[in-house]
Amino acid sequence: MPETRAGGGDSTVASEDQARADFYALLSRLYAAAPDAALLSAIAASDALSAEAESEGGRALAQAWSTLVAASAAMDPGAAADEYQNLFIGVGRSDVSAHASAYVKSPGATPLIEIRVSLAKLGLARRTGVNVYEDHLATVCETMRALITGGGQGKPFAFADQRQFFESHVQPWIFDCCTAIQNSSIANYYRRVAEFTQLFMAIERDSFAIE
């Protein structure tokens, strides 16, 4: 996960941006490892999302969140651990890859190298002891959280920095990854996670496009 070395921008995080950051943090946690009993209980106890009547995307996201909340209430932690293992790790090869390099083929460079270059320019780096690569879905979600909040430094990054990282390192592959998860015969709980991820990322994409 990224560690902040330097940043810039306002020291105040608006409530709507904090909500975005919180969702990125949750998704990062869910894709980094299987949810334990405490996390499943926390999600199950979460409030419903308020959907703007005029926003089709907002209504769909609220419904997907309600479905994930219900799935979390019904999910057994042991079954969740088995599903995560079989879906994302497997024996020899995972059923679904959570790395950008599996979906983005860029001649002359790799998504991992490109993300590392972008992180260095932003003053971010992988924390010591973390063995998850920078192009992993958990890491890019955590990076977005850090850009929104400033990574604990009290200085959120500029909106332009958030947009550039999203459009360069999240948007090109996140929807294909979510589709792969939803199409997997192994996915049960993570089908609901992927549905929510896909809708949340679509709202992010559209918001960045109109700003």
Query: How many C-beta atoms lie closer than 10 Å to residue 88's C-beta?
Result: 24
Instruction: Note the pLDDT of residue 6.
Output: 39
Which runs of consecutive H residues, i.e. helices, occur in 85-158? 111-122, 137-149
What is the pLDDT of the chain when averaged over all its residues? 89
Question: Which amino acid would we find at residue 19?
Answer: A
**Residues 6+ positions from 148 with CB-CB distance below 8 Å:** 13, 17, 18, 20, 21, 24, 156, 157, 162
More confident residue, 90 or 51: 90
* 99 three-class SS: strand
Write out pLDDT tens, residues 166-175. 999 999 999 9
**What's the domain count of the chain?**
1
CA 60 to chain CA mean position, Å? 18
pLDDT in tens, 153-195: 668 999 999 999 999 999 999 999 999 999 999 999 999 999 9
3-state secondary structure (DSSP) of residue 150: coil
For residue 95, the domain's CATH number is 1.10.3480.10
pTM score: 0.90
At 25, which helix (H) or strand (E)? helix 15-32
Which domain range does residue 78 map to? 2-47+54-210
Give the closest residue to 192 by CA, choosing from 69, 88, 77, 98.
69
Going by the DSSP 8-state scheme, the letter that residue 156 receives in this structure is: P
H/E run at residue 170: none
The yes-or-no verdict on residue 10 having pLDDT over 60 is: no
Runs of H (alpha helix) within 33-158 = 37-44, 56-74, 77-84, 111-122, 137-149
